[in-house]
């Protein structure tokens, strides 16, 4: 995120003082620096271009889906991953090129598959046998065809600094390679003239800091591709290695740069295809967090301050687990600053609490800030991924607004949910007469 401090000691994001955004739209508010989204997208796209390898960078829209966001992704030439009717609907509303949309999901409904087939999206990432049955029937009935990728679980689970080789591929997603299920699924698809298998897909995890998990997965998939070349005379046109590229939330995090991730994949795929005289497949990736995570921050207004002598000082904000459930759900850590007093040298440790009725609704357990006052403005950094997209209405709080800043201007791209909109789906109850 492009951030500076102005002469008044105010945090400035994309050319706009944070205070100005808070005053214009209220808090809590998610603020995205559009330039940063574009820089992140370009880091991936340009690395593939420079290395002259055919590729598709698909933005995993689960990280943050809104019409405006998908318009930016479209402008940057990205492809798009959707996992539900709602995400597909958003993509169609944003007039995203349908041929660049891929659909994921471990339990796609008939309605979802129908919507994908009707919209003529680029490809469906097939996950399980039930889906094969549904999709086969659908394309038959519709007298249509569909490109598919086969999602496999290569038995590698990556976690931040580490990856785990699981002998048993214990995952709800995809077909496991070792038991022969993937091969059975492949032959079902391969023998269906209406379904065209473009290649294989795997996704080994999220917030991964090292390239080794990705390169190992690449090798595993090549082993399978070589087997199927011999057995079925099948050549994969596409190798989709998923998303999961880690970002820096706090100083403790030490991810690779985005071009380093892409280069590691490119080198491994080139090496594997050269070693086995396998035609170089198109490399597809699906970054979500790496595109939007560090492009977004959340602004909150500070309210109640509760000092427990000798223990800690709680400061409550006007949002919390309703706009960012990650600390409560994953013990995720963030950095934060007082956006209206960036040059204040006083210092104290605080615990930042959300306002939901839940003790676990904490945003940061320990953060050093200048001595705070009511109505100070807190900026929590790197909330651009899985913040708004996992927002919820617990305690019937409305969802926060989303604002884009770019070239010194700001624009509202998702309106704040009003409390009367919270009841928009509610119907009144009518007391039923007792049966005589």
Q: Give how far Cα 385 sits from Cα of 8, 162, 184, 251, Å.
A: 30, 21, 36, 18
Q: Total binding residues for ligand LLP by CB under 6 A? A: 20
User: Which window, 159-167, 183-191, 212-220, 238-246, contacts ligand LLP (CB under 6 A)?
Assistant: 238-246
* Per-residue x/- track, 101-120, ligand LLP (CB under 6 A): ---x----------------
* 85 marked as part of a ligand binding site: no
Rule CB under 6 A: is residue 200 a binding residue for ligand LLP?
A: no
Near ligand LLP by CB under 6 A: residue from 36, 100, 220, 326: 326
* 288 marked as part of a ligand binding site: yes
CA distance 427 to 58: 39
* 326 marked as part of a ligand binding site: yes
State the first-to-last Cα distance of the chain, in angstroms, to the nearest integer: 68
Q: How far is the CB of 201 from ligand LLP (least distance, A)?
A: 7
* 131 marked as part of a ligand binding site: no
Near ligand LLP by CB under 6 A: residue from 105, 155, 243, 320: 243
Q: How far is the CB of 328 from ligand LLP (least distance, A)?
A: 11
Near ligand LLP by CB under 6 A: residue from 242, 320, 354, 370: 242
Nearer of residues 24 and 329 to ligand LLP, judged by Cβ: 329
Radius of gyration of the chain (CA): 24
Nearer of residues 236 and 377 to ligand LLP, judged by Cβ: 236
Q: How far is the CB of 211 from ligand LLP (least distance, A)?
A: 14
Q: How far is the CB of 125 from ligand LLP (least distance, A)?
A: 7
Near ligand LLP by CB under 6 A: residue from 128, 206, 224, 324: 206
* 42 marked as part of a ligand binding site: no
Nearer of residues 242 and 354 to ligand LLP, judged by Cβ: 242
Report whether 214 contacts 204 (CB < 8 A): yes
Instruction: Give the pairing of strands 3-5 and 29-33.
Output: unpaired
* 261 marked as part of a ligand binding site: no
User: Is 357 one of the annotated active-site residues of the chain?
Assistant: yes
* Per-residue x/- track, 73-102, ligand LLP (CB under 6 A): --------x---------------------
User: Which window, 115-123, 240-248, 250-258, 270-278, contacts ligand LLP (CB under 6 A)?
Assistant: 240-248
- Side-chain half-sphere CA neighbours of 306 within 13 A: 9
Site for ligand LLP, residues 4 to 63, rule: CB under 6 A: 60, 63
CA distance 431 to 146: 50
Site for ligand LLP, residues 356 to 395, rule: CB under 6 A: 385-386
Report whether 82 contacts 88 (CB < 8 A): yes
Site for ligand LLP, residues 246 to 305, rule: CB under 6 A: 286-290
Per the structure block, which two tokens stand in for 203? 């996704």
Near ligand LLP by CB under 6 A: residue from 245, 249, 350, 404: 245
Indicate which residues carry an active-site annotation: 357
List binding-site positions for pyridoxal 5'-phosphate: 244, 286-289, 386
Which parts of this chain interact with ligand LLP (CB under 6 A)?
Answer: 60, 63, 81, 104, 203, 206-207, 242-245, 286-290, 326, 330, 385-386
List binding-site positions: 244, 286-289, 326, 330, 358, 386
């Amino acid at each position: 995120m492009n951030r500076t401090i102005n002469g008044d000691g105010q945090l400035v994001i994309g050319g706009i003082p944070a205070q100005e955004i808070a005053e214009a739209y209220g808090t809590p508010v998610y603020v995205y620096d559009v330039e940063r989204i574009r820089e992140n997208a370009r880091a991936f796209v340009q690395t593939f271009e420079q290395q002259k390898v055919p590729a598709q960078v698909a933005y995993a829209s689960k990280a943050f889906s809104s019409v405006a966001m998908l318009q930016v992704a479209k402008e940057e030439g990205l492809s798009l991953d959707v996992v539900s009717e709602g995400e597909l609907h958003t993509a169609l509303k944003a007039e995203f090129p349908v041929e660049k949309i891929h659909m994921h999901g471990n339990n796609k409904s008939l309605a979802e598959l129908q919507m994908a087939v009707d919209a003529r999206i680029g490809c469906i990432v097939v996950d399980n046998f039930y889906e094969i049955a549904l999709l086969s029937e659908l394309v038959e009935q519709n007298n249509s065809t569909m490109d598919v990728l086969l999602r496999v679980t290569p038995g590698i689970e990556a976690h931040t600094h580490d990856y785990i080789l699981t002998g048993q591929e214990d995952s709800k997603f995809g077909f496991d390679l070792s038991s022969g299920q993937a091969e059975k699924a492949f032959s079902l698809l391969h023998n269906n003239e209406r379904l065209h298998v473009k290649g294989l897909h795997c996704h080994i995890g999220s917030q991964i800091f090292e390239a080794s998990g990705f390169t190992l997965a690449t090798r595993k998939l090549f082993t399978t591709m070589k087997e199927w070349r011999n057995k079925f005379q099948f050549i994969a046109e596409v190798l989709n290695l998923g998303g999961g590229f880690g970002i820096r939330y706090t100083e403790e995090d030490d991810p690779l740069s985005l071009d380093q991730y892409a280069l590691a994949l490119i080198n491994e795929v080139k090496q594997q295809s050269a070693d086995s005289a396998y035609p170089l497949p198109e490399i597809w990736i699906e970054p979500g967090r790496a595109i939007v995570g560090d492009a977004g921050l959340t602004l909150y207004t500070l309210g109640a301050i509760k000092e427990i002598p000798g223990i800690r000082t709680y400061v409550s904000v006007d949002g919390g687990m309703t706009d960012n459930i990650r600390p409560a759900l994953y013990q995720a850590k963030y950095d934060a600053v007082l956006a209206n007093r960036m040059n204040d040298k006083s210092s104290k440790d605080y615990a930042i609490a959300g306002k939901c009725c839940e003790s676990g609704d904490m945003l940061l357990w320990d953060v050093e800030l200048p001595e705070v006052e009511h109505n100070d403005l807190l900026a929590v950094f790197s909330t651009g991924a899985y913040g708004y997209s996992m927002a919820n209405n617990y305690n019937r709080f409305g969802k926060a607004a989303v604002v884009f800043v770019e070239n010194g201007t700001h624009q509202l791209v998702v309106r704040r949910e009003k409390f009367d909109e919270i009841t928009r789906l509610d119907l009144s109850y009518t007391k039923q007469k007792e049966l005589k």
